Amino acid sequence: MESSHAQRKNEHLSLATKLYNQVHTNSFNSMQIIHKSLPEISLDQVNPVTNCGTLKLAVPFFIEAMTGGSQNAFKINQELAMVAKKHHLAMALGSASIIFHDPTAKKSFKVVRDINPDGIVIANLSAKASLEQAKTVIDLLDADALELHVNTTQELIMDDGDRNFHWLTNIESLVNRLNIPVIVKEVGFGMDSSTINQLQSIGVSIINISGRGGTNFATIEDRRNHTADFSFLNYWGQTTLESMLEAREARTKDTQIIASGGICSPLDVIKAGILGANAVGVAGYFLNILIHDGIDALDKEITNWQMALPRLLALLGCKSFNELPSTNFVLHGEELEYAQQRDLI
Ligand code: FNR
């Protein structure tokens, strides 16, 4: 019998895969890239390597934080790590807070580093984690970066979730005291420009806006919660496209923006790049392929993304991912209205 923490991880995995297709509403469909017929480039001039702060990514997309802490999570992390290694993808793990309740959970995280000793591995903890906890998890994984998740919506829906959200001072202290990059990330509800400014003001230099459109933790936690009905929050938060627009002004040489939330094709990766993403995280879409169709299907999908990305860059006349923001685009429908009302275009 696994602990209640491990059971929660298993429920997340199972609901994330059951509900993904019901909640998936890709905001990038409202963004039309302006095609140019004469890009004046050849494919061999294109290099997909991209830098996100000091992290050098062979490919601009990576496997975003999902799991760890149960037997099922062990197998999933093992398979994701094998795929990450083969394709030179960075990989973030799910929150490791569970190891402080159940030390046997450590192996389901460590397996990722064991399989991929030279890859980029990103640890994940709550924004309220202590310095000691952060150091323990970083050591366990020999992590290249640490993600701190900010997940108020999810916590408030959970019966036993956090109720105190004074997180900024703790985040600032972790950023100042850790000697690896600290990424602050949402979990699928997006960010606005004022949140991004708050994070910048305390020295956070990598921000993952993780927006609405893919995995939806309001829906997932609502299904787990049997005492209260929160289904009215199913459309809470800013979409990934809206969050990227919110982040555009704040994006500087010193602030790197990661896009995630509902990314499910190489074209989405490109669109995120046009909106200024330095890197792009993919969680639910890859998890669904792995769980429903197996590791070979995920391997095949990622092979296709790897092949398509440089060709899409060439189509747009861009030699690298970082050149994408000069590409023209227009917005349609609700996303255009959002951008106009928020004065973002
Ligand atoms: C997540 N996500 C997540 N994020 C985080 O910071 N810590 C975590 O422990 C988890 N756990 C988790 C479990 C499962 C099963 C999924 C699918 C996702 C959120 C994830 O990193 C991402 O921010 C959102 O899922 C949005 O991206 P996708 O899924 O739409 O690509």
| Residue 214 in contact with ligand 1 by CB distance below 6 A | yes
In this prediction, residue 225 carries a pLDDT of 75
| Residue 216 in contact with ligand 1 by CB distance below 6 A | no
109 vs 127: CA distance, rounded Å? 19
In this prediction, residue 228 carries a pLDDT of 83
Q: Which residues pair with 259 in a beta bridge?
A: 280
150 vs 186: CA distance, rounded Å? 5
**SS3 at position 285:** helix
Q: Is 243 annotated as a binding residue?
A: no
| Residue 208 in contact with ligand 1 by CB distance below 6 A | no
In this prediction, residue 249 carries a pLDDT of 82
| Residue 284 in contact with ligand 1 by CB distance below 6 A | yes
In this prediction, residue 5 carries a pLDDT of 87
Which atom from ligand 1 is nearest to the alpha carbon of 94? Answer: 9
| Residue 283 in contact with ligand 1 by CB distance below 6 A | yes
Which parts of the chain register pLDDT below 50? none
Count CA atoms closer than 13 A to 102's CA, side-chain side: 19
Residue with tokens 């000793």, as numbered in its chain? 117
Q: Is 65 annotated as a binding residue?
A: yes
CA-nearest residue for atom 1, ligand 1, is: 66
Q: Which run of H or E residues covers position 331?
A: strand 329-331
CA-nearest residue for atom 23, ligand 1, is: 187
In this prediction, residue 66 carries a pLDDT of 98
For the question of whether the overall pTM of this predicted structure is more than 0.95, the answer is: yes
* C-beta atoms surrounding 144 within 10 Å: 18
C-alpha 166 to ligand 1 mean position (Å): 22
| Residue 64 in contact with ligand 1 by CB distance below 6 A | yes
- Is residue 9 within 8 A of residue 75, CB to CB? The reply is no
pLDDT in tens, 174-221: 999 999 999 999 999 999 999 999 999 999 999 999 999 999 999 999
- Is residue 109 within 8 A of residue 68, CB to CB? The reply is yes
CA-nearest residue for atom 12, ligand 1, is: 66
Q: Read off φ and ψ for residue 147, nearest 5 degrees.
A: -95, 135
**SS3 at position 208:** strand
79 vs 100: CA distance, rounded Å? 24
Q: Dump strand ranges (E) for the chain.
A: 31-33, 50-52, 55-57, 61-63, 91-92, 121-126, 145-149, 182-185, 206-208, 256-260, 279-282, 329-331
| Residue 91 in contact with ligand 1 by CB distance below 6 A | no
In this prediction, residue 320 carries a pLDDT of 98
In this prediction, residue 26 carries a pLDDT of 86
1 vs 317: CA distance, rounded Å? 55
Nearest C-alpha neighbor of 303 from the set 46, 17, 83: 83
Amino acid at 59: V
Q: Give, for ligand 1, the residue of 155, 186, 187, 265 to mutate: max count of ligand atoms closer than 8 Å to Cβ.
A: 187
Q: Read off φ and ψ for residue 324, nearest 5 degrees.
A: -60, -35
